[in-house]
Structure 1
Amino acid sequence: MAPALWPRLGRILWLACLLPLAPARVAAGVYELHLTPDGPATTGAEVTITASLVADDNGSLVLPASTRLYRFRWIHTPLLLTGKTDEAFSSTIRVVGNVPGNFPVSVWVTAADCGMCQPVARSVLVLPITEFLVGNLVVTQNTSLPWPSSYLTKTVLKVSFLLHDPSNFFKTASFLYSWDFGDGTQMVTKDATVYYNYSIVGSFTVKVKVVAEWEQVTPDVGKGVLQKTGDFSASLKLQETLRGIQVLGPTLIQTFQKMIVTLNFLGSPPLNVCWRLKPECLPLGEGECHPVSVGSTAYNLTHIFRDPGDYCFSIQAENIISKTHQYHKIQVWPSSIQPAVFAFPCATLITMMLAFIMYMTLRNAAHQKDMVEVADFDFSPMSDKNPEPPTGVRCCCQMCCGPFLLETPSEYLEVVRENHGLLPPLYKSVKTYTV
């Protein structure tokens, strides 16, 4: 029996030794461990990683007053440890990677006197190490736009390369920058910042190749020149402000006739176009138009007017940079009173009326001529000694040319008397008797 009691007694003594560590075990799952590196880094450069113990519910819990209850335990192999600093509820290490790759770094917090106890918090990160330079290409402009990577044409751009070197690994290096702006322009500078102005719209990629050189003295090789390079790029979308709208279309049209108006936008698409017909040229209010999305610098607007009157097209357009508006007046005529439509029918009617009047006039003249010829035949016989022209010719001459060819007024009165003798008398004859 005695040998069987010794294991049980050992467990009881072990539990008694762990009683002072009860607060640490209770704290398990209540706190979080945040890791903050200053990487990525290039090979040979020093990287700093900081681990901070914080409350799990954003600080509402109070950390213990004694900092001796916990210990930070790191695993960073194959990175070389160059330094470590422990502070209240935080720990910082400095490591160096001599080969490129992605290296995991983990840390956990346990009770200070019990490395095998359950961790209070733990965390892990992957640290990238590269053989190239580390940095960013930053593009800025005085005119800020609410859209990322969007800039204005004909406005100076500031392009800068920012080297990521928190450990000052390249403090003795000299740099050379080869720039390519994507529009055919290239340049080489020793300065990390250049200024450039794009004159055309479109999407471009600005690139820079950075070369760093420095001298290094090693015990094995001695003095030598080391070099590191890096390629960096940034995408740009150059836009142009919307300067105006050119409207090409008729100003006079008939009702029920299809009208086409061409809108030419002096700016960069894509555009949001809004238009509305109004009796007067007034600005468009909020939500009182027909929105259209336009992907080019030209757009055809079609409309059919059903009522005559004076109208005005109120047009508004905007791109991601600016907006503008334009007006176009148009007069609509009713189709029933168009002069061009009814000019020919009116002229035809007038011509027919004139032709009818001339026909009636000539007909009356011919009828009167026939009556004169009959009268000359009955009452003015031709003499054998003095032959005269035919009756019809003489009648026409007497009617048309008589007053000009007769030599004396008596002859003229005789002709008039002959002509009027055929007409019926206007009064009845009265017989006179002598007693």
Structure 2
Amino acid sequence: MALALCPRVSGILWLACLLPLAPALVAAGLYELHLVTDSPATTGAEVTVTASLVASDNGSLDLPTDTHFYRFHWVHSPLLLTGKTEEALSSSIRAVGSAPGDFPVSVWVTAASCRRCQPVARSTLVLSITEFIVGNLTVTQNMSLPWPGSYLTKTVLKVSFLLHDPSSFFKTASFLYSWDFGDGTQMVTEDPVVYYNYSIIGTFTVRLHVVAEWEQATLPTGKGVVQKTGAFSTSLKLQETLRGIQVLGPNQIQTFQKVTVTLNFLGSPPLTVCWRLKPKCLPLGEGECHPVSVASTTYNLTHVFRASGDYCFSIQAENVVSKTHQYHRIQVWPSSIQPVVFAFPCATLFTVMLAFIMCMTLRGSTHQKDMVEVADFDFSPVSDKNPEPPTGARCCQMCCGPFLLETPSEYLEVVRESHGLLPPLYKPVKTYTV
């Protein structure tokens, strides 16, 4: 009977030994560690690292209420540990680095009653230690622009240096600030805040050199002056408001001619330009034209007018600072040079009319001459068969014959008569009767 009870007793004792390990085995994989730090820090200054145990499914699991249920284990060498704080489900350490570099810090959590058990959660981060002053250079302006790093010219800028010193390492130090604004202006101040006004557009780099000095107890002299420095910079893009648009182009033009209008923008690019021709100078409505991106302060518009009338270029431009409108009136007259398709018929008609007028003019002048010279009688023998036509009539027949005669036979007859007959081979002999 006693031998039969021994296996049961040993099993009960084995389960009793495993009961303290049950929470850690169940919690493994259900939680995670979040680490935060205030690094980077300068050599000699304290760095704080805090680890918090949280549920891995965003808090739907209930964390134990007993603050001593879990234990945090840290590895921070070669950093020198200066303090440690344990709170509910979190732990913090403070360490100091004597040399610059990047140092890993690890932490894991186990059940408080079992240090050798499987960790519930673990995490690691890297601390950055530098020998220089740590801080940030910030620039602010009353008017904010939609683009980061963009500011307005002729508007005061506030440039500030923010020292990063959570452990108050520089509480007894005195500082000296040397400023370079990138446009040729430099200054030295004891104040970490300066105000500056840029008068021109462009991209500038603000550089700051910081020097910190303080007294520190040293051996064997007792006291000594310690100095640390730091260099900082930031880039600024200065822009101007769009003050207007200068339009250069003709105010009168003929149809079927290409016109070029030059736009000069009084402001900072990049710009968005939109234009449209309207019968009247009215602002552009929403969606009336397609915007075009312009990367310079000059843009050319080209257009060919095919109909006469009064037109107006309605132009809209905007940059990241502001927008503006401008108008340009132009009067289009009918072109004096018509297209080629109309030139040949018109030239033909004009030639026919001119020939007809010349023919009629010559005919009228010849008729008047015949009436004046009818009294002059010519006794020279003339062939009755082929009389010589007058000079004006001959010209009229040669020039206007194809247009005035009705049949080709009449035209040929006129040509034949216009040439006349060959002169006779003998002269007629006059006889007298006594």
Deviations 1:266-317 (A, max 9, x none): 1111111111122222222222213211111001111112222222211111
Query: Which of residues 370, 375, 380 is equivalent to 2:373?
Result: 370
Q: Would you say the 8 A contact 2:277–2:311 is kept in 1? A: yes
Question: What is the distance in 2 between the residues matched to 1:197 and 1:327?
Answer: 34
Deviations 1:91-127 (A, max 9, x none): 1111100100000011111100111111111111100
CA-CA distance at 1:184 after TM superposition: 1.0
The residue aligned with 2:431 is none
Q: Would you say the 8 A contact 1:49–1:94 is kept in 2? A: yes
Q: Compared with structure 1, are the counterparts of its residues 85 and 334 closer, same or farther at alpha carbon in structure 2 (3 Å cutoff)? A: same
Deviations 1:42-77 (A, max 9, x none): 000011111111121222222112122100111111
**Superposition pairs of residues 28-43 of structure 1, within 5 angstroms:** 28-43=28-43
Question: What is the distance in 1 between the residues matched to 2:265 and 2:212?
Answer: 48
**Superposition pairs of residues 184-223 of structure 1, within 5 angstroms:** 184-223=184-223
The residue aligned with 2:60 is 60
Question: What is the distance in 2 between the residues matched to 1:327 and 1:176?
Answer: 55
**Superposition pairs of residues 237-252 of structure 1, within 5 angstroms:** 237-252=237-252
Q: Would you say the 8 A contact 2:162–2:192 is kept in 1? A: yes
Q: Would you say the 8 A contact 1:24–1:69 is kept in 2? A: no
Structure 1 gaps, min length 5: 1-8, 375-435
Q: Would you say the 8 A contact 1:182–1:206 is kept in 2? A: yes
Deviations 1:168-204 (A, max 9, x none): 1001101111111111111111111111111111111
The residue aligned with 1:139 is 139
Secondary structure of residue in 1 paired with 2:32: strand
Moved over 4 A (4+): 9-15, 348-369, 371-374
**Superposition pairs of residues 351-390 of structure 1, within 5 angstroms:** 369-370=372-373
Question: What is the distance in 2 between the residues matched to 1:13 and 1:231?
Answer: 67
Q: What is the total number of aligned residue pairs between the two structures?
A: 364
The answer to which of 306-315 and 106-115 deviates more is 306-315
Question: What is the distance in 1 between the residues matched to 2:353 and 2:251?
Answer: 33
The answer to which of 90-99 and 272-281 deviates more is 272-281
The residue aligned with 2:115 is 115
Q: Would you say the 8 A contact 1:276–1:290 is kept in 2? A: no
Question: What is the distance in 1 between the residues matched to 2:221 and 2:29?
Answer: 52
Letter matched to residue 142 of structure 2 = N
Question: What is the distance in 1 between the residues matched to 2:171 and 2:154?
Answer: 37
Question: What is the distance in 1 between the residues matched to 2:313 and 2:11?
Answer: 94
The residue aligned with 2:170 is 170
Question: What is the distance in 1 between the residues matched to 2:354 and 2:292?
Answer: 54
Secondary structure of residue in 2 paired with 1:370: helix
1:152 aligns with 2:152: yes
Question: What is the distance in 1 between the residues matched to 2:273 and 2:245?
Answer: 11
Secondary structure of residue in 1 paired with 2:284: coil
The residue aligned with 1:46 is 46
Question: What is the distance in 1 between the residues matched to 2:243 and 2:355?
Answer: 60
Deviations 1:338-372 (A, max 9, x none): 9xxx9xx9xx9999999999978876775565357
Q: Would you say the 8 A contact 1:202–1:239 is kept in 2? A: yes
Secondary structure of residue in 2 paired with 1:290: coil
The residue aligned with 2:255 is 255
Higher Rg of the two aligned structures: 1
Question: What is the distance in 2 between the residues matched to 1:331 and 1:103?
Answer: 77
Secondary structure of residue in 1 paired with 2:291: strand
Question: What is the distance in 2 between the residues matched to 1:10 and 1:268?
Answer: 88
Q: Compared with structure 1, are the counterparts of its residues 54 and 302 closer, same or farther at alpha carbon in structure 2 (3 Å cutoff)? A: same
Letter matched to residue 301 of structure 2 = L
Question: What is the distance in 2 between the residues matched to 1:189 and 1:355?
Answer: 99
Q: Compared with structure 1, are the counterparts of its residues 196 and 281 closer, same or farther at alpha carbon in structure 2 (3 Å cutoff)? A: same
Question: What is the distance in 2 between the residues matched to 1:234 and 1:13?
Answer: 69
The residue aligned with 2:405 is none
Secondary structure of residue in 1 paired with 2:276: strand
Q: Compared with structure 1, are the counterparts of its residues 188 and 11 closer, same or farther at alpha carbon in structure 2 (3 Å cutoff)? A: farther
Question: What is the distance in 2 between the residues matched to 1:186 and 1:352?
Answer: 88
Letter matched to residue 191 of structure 1 = D
The residue aligned with 2:98 is 98
CA-CA distance at 1:220 after TM superposition: 3.7
The residue aligned with 2:311 is 311
Question: What is the distance in 2 between the residues matched to 1:210 and 1:305?
Answer: 65
Question: What is the distance in 1 between the residues matched to 2:359 and 2:240?
Answer: 72
Q: Compared with structure 1, are the counterparts of its residues 78 and 14 closer, same or farther at alpha carbon in structure 2 (3 Å cutoff)? A: farther
Letter matched to residue 246 of structure 1 = Q
Q: Compared with structure 1, are the counterparts of its residues 351 and 30 closer, same or farther at alpha carbon in structure 2 (3 Å cutoff)? A: same
Q: Compared with structure 1, are the counterparts of its residues 262 and 28 closer, same or farther at alpha carbon in structure 2 (3 Å cutoff)? A: same
Letter matched to residue 68 of structure 2 = R
**Superposition pairs of residues 76-87 of structure 1, within 5 angstroms:** 76-87=76-87
Question: What is the distance in 2 between the residues matched to 1:320 and 1:221?
Answer: 61
CA-CA distance at 1:328 after TM superposition: 1.4
Question: What is the distance in 2 between the residues matched to 1:143 and 1:14?
Answer: 74
Deviations 1:17-56 (A, max 9, x none): 2312312221111112111111110000011111111121
Structure 2 gaps, min length 5: 1-8, 378-434
The answer to which of 303-312 and 43-52 deviates more is 303-312
Q: Would you say the 8 A contact 1:310–1:332 is kept in 2? A: yes
Secondary structure of residue in 1 paired with 2:199: coil
Question: What is the distance in 1 between the residues matched to 2:157 and 2:356?
Answer: 81
What is the RMSD computed on CA atoms of the aligned residues?
Answer: 3.1
